[in-house]
Structure 1
Amino acid sequence: MTSKAEESRATRRRGVGLVIRTAAVIIVLLFGAANYLVLDYAIERADSFVAETERTLVRNEFGHQIDQVVQYQSQLSFWDKSFNELADGMPGDAFVRDQLRDWMWSDFGFSWMIFASPDGEKVLGVYRGEKVSESKAREKLHWVSDLTHKAERKYREALSPDRGGWQVARAKEDPDLLTPALPEIHVTGMRLIDRVMSIVVVQAVVPKSLYIPAHRLEPTLLITVKPVSKKMLANTERRLGVHDLGFTPIVTQEPGLVMTPVGADAYNPMVASWRPNMPGSFVWRSALPQIAMFVLVFAGVMLFVTLRFSALIKALQRSEAKNAFLARHDTLTGLKNRSGFDEEVRRAIRKGETKPFAILALDLDKFKAVNDRHGHAAGDAVLQAVARRFSDRIGKQGCVARLGGDEFSVLLTGERSCEALLELAGSLVRDTQVPIAYDGQLLVIGGSAGIAQFPQHGGSVHDVMVMADAALYAAKNAGRNRAVHADHVGQEMIIEAGEARAA
């Protein structure tokens, strides 16, 4: 009897033990499955977030590059000299040599520049600075015919009768933008030209006054092609922190490749593609071996999940902080770039007239000679040295920015006298004149500075920058290596500076 009772109790204990073990296994399996699903979801969301962030950055970067190409092209298409040159037909050899070869090709790198009438009767093409046959030019026009049709339509839609001729509608000025507004008659696109993805800009050539005489109603279109070079892609990779950036057909289906259309061109069969900084594969390689151990130790699993999520969030925060920094700073010098400087100036403008500020426009003299003689590495060393000197000189007084090339700007907040500003600007000019040691030799440059103040010299960013540029031009015209305050600039120089910024 006792033996049977003991056997019964032993059986019950074994049953309870089995239930407990089964329950424990089920709990561990459920816990492991829950952690697996949570981790998988987090990785998927993190990968999706990083990919979408990089898509936005890539689209914005190419949009910025297209805007720059439009600005460069407008210096030729929105110009009295170009309009007058086309009065009797196509441009002459002197114009092709001086403006297309020695300027647009040598300085800006436009591979193709084509002048064409909308009906295609008159065509002149220049490739890499040299005139080409009409047949070659027409061949390139075939691949951008949709853009030329759109450009002609936008030109005609912008016309209104005026004084016996026609007036092109002016663009609305945005006081928060430093770049001048252009008439809305240009068309842009991304095309595969000569087997290289290129930025194409098409616009009718118009004079600065935007007045078209009646006998000149039929436009001449200027088509420019700016190749997206390997160097441009490498610089973009470095700025955005992506890898293997390039272009691929829109129908490509390759695992691990992120793609996004750029340029808003419906006829472009290519999209930008790159290898994203996906944290998923790294997390999987790190976490999977741990999951097998964590299903045995509940506390260890919870600790690991907490640490992994914390590390993931910190990695995303660092990535966001890095992207935000790159969007507002110049990668070569570490100074604010044009976008970052625009934000600082807009912030100063919003503080109102009770919070005055000054803008110093600075430009390096003889910098191009250093680049030509010693190479771009020497030029970069000069820009970095000058940036350090400017930053040390300004300190906490304001913000120093590199707007591009050898152009710098300084924002100084607070009330300052003309004499104090001239003394500070003169110190910055002298900083540029101190020789810079590079590769066993001393590089010598100079600098010029222009000063304008808010609100004395304008109630908008554009107006103050125009005055600062006018003062800078006055400094250069007076012999360079000096600073000039906007109060000492004549009206003619102000008009010239405004036209130069608009171009």
Structure 2
Amino acid sequence: MGERTARRYSDRISREQKHRISRLAFLLAGLLIFVSAVSLVFVGYVATRASEGEADRNAGMLFENTLRDRSLLIAREQLPLARWDEAVEKIVIDFDHDFVRQELKSLWTDFGHDRNLIVNAQNVVLAETFQDYTHIVLRPLSDTPEYSPLVQQARDVFKLKRTRVPRGFSYSSLQELDMKDIAASGFVVLEDKPALVSVIPIIPDQERVALPRDEATLLISAHFIDQDFVNGLNSQIRFEDMRFQFEPSADNDEISYPLESLQGEIIGYFIWGKLPVAAPIWHTVIPVILALSIALAIMAFAIAWRIGRLTASLQASEHQNRFLALHDTLSGLANRLHFNRTLAEAVNTLSYRPFALMHCDLDRFKAVNDTHGHAAGDAVIREVAARLKTVVGDAGLACRVGGDEFVIILNDLTDRIALQKLAGRLLDAVPLPIDIGDGELAEVGISIGIAIAPDNGLTPEEVQAAADGALYKAKNAGRGRMAFADPAGENDAAAQRAEMEKYNKAQSSRPASAAPAV
């Protein structure tokens, strides 16, 4: 009896020890699951906050680039009138009312500038437009003091860049200057509405005439920041529910980007919805926690697999944010930030690897927007971008840097004949009819300016200025054409012009189906 009792007692102790170990194992397993689950919740929280912060920073950087591009675009739209010998003759030297009315009206009809003013050297307003209505006046600029800071800034820049010539004054070569060294731009409040204003001096281009005095006559253009302006910006970046308002958003799921005046005062806010980065992360973490609660045996595998999924999700989110920061969301081409970086790299390797830069601008694009709407304009931009990529292929990087403005960097193609052939293919491809939906077709043209480094410059600014100058030369020749920049420091400009005229004459003689109408 004693031995049987002892064996039963020993069996009871053994069972209690097993139960205790089982309970301890379950407790440890439960604790491990709990710690792992809490750790994953914490990782998900940190990853969500980090991803949201990175997405917000990238969105802000993308918006700043887009807003800066819009400011430069207004100055470029002013430049054909502001840098023109005939404008100097008929505005600065001998004020021609009919000429002024026609040219100021074109700034509204072609580019939608809401306000345009001509201000002489004595800060007297000679003419001003209200959309398509031009009023010839003689009133002091002090009646609208909102313009004064930008006017003074433009005059200061002009004084730094002006040059003395035999008959008066002229201006430094634009090949040496960026647009910020020519025009002054900023945000002001006009008529109780925020507006983007650009001020640029009226200067010669061919220098057949000279400015009669050392103070500039200025061209002022303003765009009100209304919903159309916001939609134009958002057509490039595609933010959710983007708008402009005078107070910041109270919604934590929206970003409020402050807009400051020249005096540093906040005059309103651009509002858009944050990128939805949190939901995909939590959709990944929650199933992991549920899986860990089911069984300890599959916990390690589930954690490793889900953490891998979480990492992949974060990497995909970061890759998407980087892609958005470096690419134009409408066309899929590289954006201005990507272009600037690539151009800087090309200049750094210029000593052993020359390159070419094509500056392209669409002709008759505004007519598509005005006639068919912005959706049709977006379809045209996407199709033109696809045609540029097809024609350029692996030979270079095609970028969209503005509304209808494209640039192409060609690292391995600098031969003039080869560049002419490539430009010819672009001139053939872009004007082909474009399907904009509902059975309708649109046609646009393209003008191309080509600069070759190092012949046309040794810095990014010089090469861009050379390509810009060549583009304006192509447009002045009748649009739907190409032109090479004159080599810096050489005297063979006349020979190159003859070469371009011969090539463009050949382009003009092609059938209408192959070349765009001017």
Given the two structures, how large is their TM-score scaled by the length of structure 2? 0.68
Distance 1:64 1:481 in 2: 24
195, 212, 216: which is aligned to 1:198?
195
Distance 1:239 1:130 in 2: 30
57, 64, 76: which is aligned to 1:59?
64
Shift of the 434–276 alpha-carbon distance from structure 1 to 2, 3 Å rule, reads: closer
248, 255, 258: which is aligned to 2:255?
258
Quote the residue 1:280 is aligned against.
Answer: 278
Q: Where do 1:122-271 residues align within 5 Å? A: 122=125, 124-131=127-134, 141=144, 144=146, 148-149=148-149, 151-152=151-152, 155-156=155-156, 159=159, 180-183=178-181, 186-189=184-187, 191=188, 193=190, 197-202=194-199, 217=215, 222-234=219-231, 236-237=233-234, 239-249=236-246, 251-262=248-259, 265=262, 266-271=264-269
Distance 1:28 1:459 in 2: 63
Shift of the 181–64 alpha-carbon distance from structure 1 to 2, 3 Å rule, reads: closer
Shift of the 292–94 alpha-carbon distance from structure 1 to 2, 3 Å rule, reads: same
The question of whether the paired residues in 1 share the 8 Å contact of 2:258 and 2:270 is answered with yes
Distance 1:8 1:437 in 2: 87
What RMSD in Å do the two structures reach over aligned CA positions? 5.4
Counting matched residue pairs gives 484
Distance 1:21 1:238 in 2: 58
Shift of the 263–95 alpha-carbon distance from structure 1 to 2, 3 Å rule, reads: farther
Q: How far is the alpha carbon of 1:55 from its aligned partner? A: 2.0
Q: Where do 1:318-397 residues align within 5 Å? A: 318-329=316-327, 331=329, 333-336=331-334, 340-341=338-339, 343-359=341-357, 388-389=386-387, 391-397=389-395
Q: How far is the alpha carbon of 1:48 from its aligned partner? A: 1.9
34, 39, 48: which is aligned to 2:39?
34
Q: How far is the alpha carbon of 1:430 from its aligned partner? A: 4.2
Give the letter aligned to residue 98 of structure 1: Q
Q: Which string of whole-angstrom CA distances, capped at 9 and with x for unpartnered residues, describes residues 320-363 of structure 1?
A: 44444455555555445565555555444433354344455666
Q: Which moved more, 1:278-287 or 1:158-167?
A: 158-167
Distance 1:24 1:186 in 2: 68
The question of whether the paired residues in 2 share the 8 Å contact of 1:450 and 1:485 is answered with yes
Distance 1:134 1:323 in 2: 51
The question of whether the paired residues in 2 share the 8 Å contact of 1:83 and 1:206 is answered with yes
Gaps of 5+ in 1: 498-503
The question of whether the paired residues in 1 share the 8 Å contact of 2:123 and 2:140 is answered with no
Give the letter aligned to residue 130 of structure 2: Y
102, 108, 113: which is aligned to 2:111?
108
Quote the residue 1:71 is aligned against.
Answer: 76
Q: Where do 1:408-487 residues align within 5 Å? A: 411-414=409-412, 418-431=416-429, 453-456=452-455, 459=458
Q: How far is the alpha carbon of 1:224 from its aligned partner? A: 2.6
The question of whether the paired residues in 1 share the 8 Å contact of 2:175 and 2:463 is answered with no
Give the letter aligned to residue 51 of structure 1: D
Distance 1:112 1:385 in 2: 33
The question of whether the paired residues in 2 share the 8 Å contact of 1:422 and 1:485 is answered with no
SS state at 2:266 partner: coil
Shift of the 480–171 alpha-carbon distance from structure 1 to 2, 3 Å rule, reads: closer
SS state at 1:110 partner: coil
The question of whether the paired residues in 2 share the 8 Å contact of 1:239 and 1:326 is answered with no
Distance 1:346 1:462 in 2: 10
The question of whether the paired residues in 1 share the 8 Å contact of 2:248 and 2:271 is answered with no
Distance 1:303 1:136 in 2: 80
Distance 1:101 1:123 in 2: 15
SS state at 1:254 partner: coil
State whether structure 2 residue 41 is matched by structure 1 residue 43: no
Distance 1:375 1:6 in 2: 91
Q: How far is the alpha carbon of 1:40 from its aligned partner? A: 1.9
Distance 2:11 2:156 in 1: 102
Q: Which moved more, 1:322-331 or 1:161-170?
A: 161-170
Q: How far is the alpha carbon of 1:109 from its aligned partner? A: 1.5
The question of whether the paired residues in 2 share the 8 Å contact of 1:62 and 1:262 is answered with no
The question of whether the paired residues in 2 share the 8 Å contact of 1:386 and 1:432 is answered with yes
Distance 1:485 1:171 in 2: 17
The question of whether the paired residues in 2 share the 8 Å contact of 1:66 and 1:263 is answered with no
98, 107, 131: which is aligned to 1:94?
98
Distance 2:120 2:446 in 1: 44
Give the letter aligned to residue 297 of structure 1: A
Q: How far is the alpha carbon of 1:223 from its aligned partner? A: 4.1
Distance 1:172 1:476 in 2: 17
The question of whether the paired residues in 1 share the 8 Å contact of 2:90 and 2:96 is answered with yes
Distance 2:34 2:302 in 1: 17
Give the letter aligned to residue 253 of structure 2: G
Distance 2:295 2:139 in 1: 73
The question of whether the paired residues in 2 share the 8 Å contact of 1:248 and 1:272 is answered with yes
The question of whether the paired residues in 2 share the 8 Å contact of 1:83 and 1:205 is answered with yes
* Residue identity (%): 25
Shift of the 224–455 alpha-carbon distance from structure 1 to 2, 3 Å rule, reads: closer
Distance 1:417 1:205 in 2: 36
Distance 1:289 1:415 in 2: 53
SS state at 2:144 partner: helix
Gaps of 5+ in 2: 487-491, 502-518
SS state at 2:253 partner: coil
Distance 1:163 1:138 in 2: 27
